[in-house]
A and B are shown apart, each in its own frame.
Chain A
Amino acid sequence: MSEPLLKVRDLKIGATVYPPGEKPHDIEIVHGVSFDLMPGKVLGLIGESGAGKSTIGLSSMAYGRGGVKITGGEVWVNGRDILKSKLGDIRKLRGGEVTYVSQSAAASFNPAKTIMEQVVEASVEQGKFSRKNAEARARALFDKLGLPDPDNIGSRYPHQVSGGQLQRCMTALALCPEPDLVVFDEPTTALDVTTQIDVLMAIKEAIRDTGVAALYITHDLAVVAQVSDDIMVLRHGETVEYGDVNQIINEPQEEYTQALVSVRSIDHEEKAPTEEPVLSVRNITARYKGTKFDVLHNVNVDLYPGQTLAVVGESGSGKSTLARVITGLLPPREGEIYFAGRTLTPDFNHRSREDLRELQMIYQMADVAMNPRQTVGTIIGRPLEFYFGLKGAEKKKRIVELLDEIELGEKFIDRYPAELSGGQKQRVCIARALAAKPKMIICDEVTSALDPLVADGILKLLLNLQKIEDVAYLFITHDLATVKAISDNIAVMYKGKVQRYGGKTQVLTPPFDDYTDLLLSSVPEMKLGWLEEVIANRKMESAGN
């Protein structure tokens, strides 16, 4: 067996933190990680936020982002320890032997230069190719990565191409100097699912065809399972499990890995519609002030008491606009909304207090949904006081009850939002909504900012609370796994229209319309070879047509 291309031994990484009110001090964020990567192989690094995966990826280029410093261990690339190399030698390594693809291509491209200038810059700078050859190579890569008009796209500026295309340009940038190793840092996370699958396939084929080795960093195990040979599961800067992809996905040993593999397998049986819907949206058409096109066209959906309607779609589908229309933040141009048997006034400013109380909302970013200067007690207590006139001991008793319901407990009552974790914050927001004793809660992407396991906890809590409080959810999300886990009815939205609507089983069972088919088949599954299967199916279908 040949020598590993990248050999990491007992890697330790530290950072300086600046907590408010305390002296800045150093902490260790990666505690002794070791792995090998053979030439031409792909190692997936997976973990939730704070696991140290990006930091480890960048250490293969001897680079620390922000105040991050590599404090110990060895990183061998092509037979030399780069942590002991001089800066000049490291610069020859960066952009030549090892290259990097970041999560946000839109931010990683210099807005003032053309794409081609930036794609060939490293190749020319490192003396790998002449400018002419590098440009020819870049055009070939654009073609291979499935970019439109590969001969001319390089002369455009970054803002002139779409997000998915720019992510492929970034991949071309990384592959252009013929590196030995590419570090992919969440390259598809910022993309919509239907775009993600194409970029993923393009990256996979490019890796296979060029024979380059790769570190593939992501928080999504299903994605990494499609492209990796080996997988390392990380948590809090330590290795949880390290093995080949088959073993990790099919026979995970550690409890944490098992949880990651089985994430989003919540079982929720679909409920049949009852007679009277709590919310009926009828023929809603809406546009934003000062714009000339409608973002919602003739939308009709119903939500039944104690049930969940999932509104699913990609960015720009109009799903969040629908929430704004229902809450009365954006009065529609046409159509009516019926809520609990009465017609809702379009503008929330003119709605009755009863209407406002019975229709609550939970936001995506719990961080900014709570006033940082108020304690948890104040946040949950205000609706009690405002809607029910509760005061003193009575109010406190109810706050404690609510804190128990969201599984936090009385000790949280005097804490500030800054002292809570992401999941705890979202729980407090749930309690605030429940405090109003609503008939219905709009949940706007409430789990998408959370790590998968935390998100699972929130979904379970929401389902549980639905049983106890008999509250209906309008659940807005882009994540189909969440939809499957929680919904009774589903509305698939595309370009401001409801594309498909009905009971969960009905919506998720073929025959599909084209868009729903594309959307459903694009969601990564926790299964080896899924990506190839989907692509092969699509090719067959298009050949059949």
Chain B
Amino acid sequence: MKNIPVSALIGLFFTALYFLGAIFAPLLAPYGMAEVVGDVWEPSSADYLLGTDNIGRDLLSRMIYGGRTTIFIATVATIISFTTGSVLGIFAAVAGGWVDQMLSRFVDLIMSIPTLIFALVVLSVTPVTVPMLILVMGLLDSTRVFRLARAVAVDIEVMDYVEAARLRGEKTAWIIFREILPNALSPLVAEMGLRFIFMVLFVSTLSFLGLGVQPPEADWGGIVKENKDGIVYGVPAALIPAFAIATLAISVNLVADWILNRTTSLKGGRG
């Protein structure tokens, strides 16, 4: 453990902090999420550490609950994106032939439109609920994981040790889980961090555009949207959730970077 660089430690610390905050939100938040407690846009005070929002709710409480929503949505969407993408990606690489062609061309097609635009098109006809958001985000993003997983698996697939296992007569399941997966895991885990950041940014952007989490539920992007008009009057309330998004993303990025560096130095397996 002593080999962890300082930047990764900082990243790990803040990531843990945010996740704990999300889990214990009801215990930590001083007021209720939708409870109007004061005036509009009160400055920070002993009662309201971060001040109040555009209709007089405690901003700190909303931030804590908002973080819970944002992190929950991003986590579940990442899990969906990740399992779908990596399972299909590795499967495509191992199966090869027309299965691979079909899956890969379909993914190319989806990826030829920017994800946000595609999400907007889909959300224009589907009901905007949290499960729907998670599903749309997770499935759209799984195309990226698919590409990475497939590329990594194809690289490993051509290794002589996989050929040796095939020639030994091993079954496909053994080849996927014993030969390919252990070697593909580290780059995929690092990618998982990046996917999570992307999901946080994605759900925040959607909520900011009014197409994500619907009020009165709070999430960080939504809080920016609610308080953005204050900016013009010099009220920085909208910057606070944006700041939270940025610090969370940077922390996870630092951790992912560290994992990625560790895996690249293992690559090739030379001591």
Contacts and interface: CB of A to CB of B under 8 A. Distances in A.
A–B: direct contact at CB < 8 Å: yes
Interface in B58-107: none
A21 interface: yes
A367 B168 contact: no
Nearest to A364: B160
B265 A370 contact: no
Contacts of B268: 367
Given A363-B164, A368-B160, A418-B271, A373 B182 contact: yes
B161 A368 contact: yes
B179 interface: yes
A348 B167 contact: yes
A382 B160 contact: no
A7 B179 CA distance: 53
A231 to B, nearest CB: 30
A371 B182 contact: yes
A293 interface: no
B168 A418 contact: no
B271 A356 contact: no
Given A20-B262, A21-B3, A369 B164 contact: yes
Interface string A343-359: 00000100101001100
Nearest to B159: A368
B20 interface: no
B163 A329 contact: yes
A361 interface: yes
A436 B170 CA distance: 14
Contact of B168 (A368, A383, A416, A419): A383
A368 B262 CA distance: 20
Contacts of A372: 183, 266, 269
A417 interface: yes
A373 B170 CA distance: 17
B169 interface: yes
Contacts of A21: 3, 265
B120 to A, nearest CB: 41
A370 B169 contact: no
Given A367-B269, A419-B271, A361 B161 contact: no
A18 B170 CA distance: 36
Size category of the binding interface on chain B: 20 to 34
Contact of B167 (A19, A361, A373): A361
Given A20-B262, A373-B183, A386-B169, A361 B164 contact: yes
A356 B168 contact: yes
A327 interface: yes
Interface string B228-271: 00000000000000000000000000000000001001101111
Nearest to B263: A20
A365 interface: yes
Given A356-B169, A383-B168, A386-B170, A371 B161 contact: yes
Nearest to A425: B269
A373 B159 CA distance: 13
A418 B269 contact: yes
A370 B161 contact: yes
Contact of B160 (A18, A22, A328, A365): A365
Interface in A306-350: 327-329, 348
A451 to B, nearest CB: 16
Contact of A18 (B164, B262, B265): B265
A216 to B, nearest CB: 29
Contacts of A327: 167
Contacts of B182: 371, 373
Contact of A382 (B168, B262, B270): B168
Interface string A83-98: 0000000000000000
A263 B96 CA distance: 45
B167 A356 contact: yes
Nearest to A416: B269
A19 B266 CA distance: 9
B168 A369 contact: no
Given A329-B163, A363-B160, A371-B183, A20 B266 contact: yes
B82 to A, nearest CB: 20
Contacts of A353: 169
Nearest to B265: A20
Give the one of A22, A353, A369, A416 with max B CB within 10 A: A369
Nearest to B182: A373
B157 to A, nearest CB: 12
Q: Which of B166, B168, B262, B265 has the most CB of A within 10 A?
A: B168
Contacts of A365: 160
Contacts of A373: 182-183
A356 B269 CA distance: 28
Interface in B181-219: 182-183
A369 to B, nearest CB: 4
Contacts of A20: 262, 265-266, 271
Contacts of A361: 164, 167
A365 B183 CA distance: 18
B234 to A, nearest CB: 49
A357 B170 CA distance: 11
B161 A369 contact: yes
Nearest to A360: B167
A371 B3 CA distance: 25
A311 B159 CA distance: 23
Interface in A361-413: 361, 363, 365, 367-373, 382-383, 386
14 contacts: A21-B3, A22-B3, A329-B163, A348-B167, A356-B169, A363-B164, A371-B178, A371-B179, A372-B183, A372-B266, A373-B183, A416-B269, A432-B164, A436-B168
Which 3 pairs from chain A and chain B are nearest by CB?
A372-B269, A20-B265, A369-B160
Given A357-B169, A372-B269, A418-B269, 5 more contacts: A22-B3, A327-B167, A368-B160, A369-B159, A386-B168
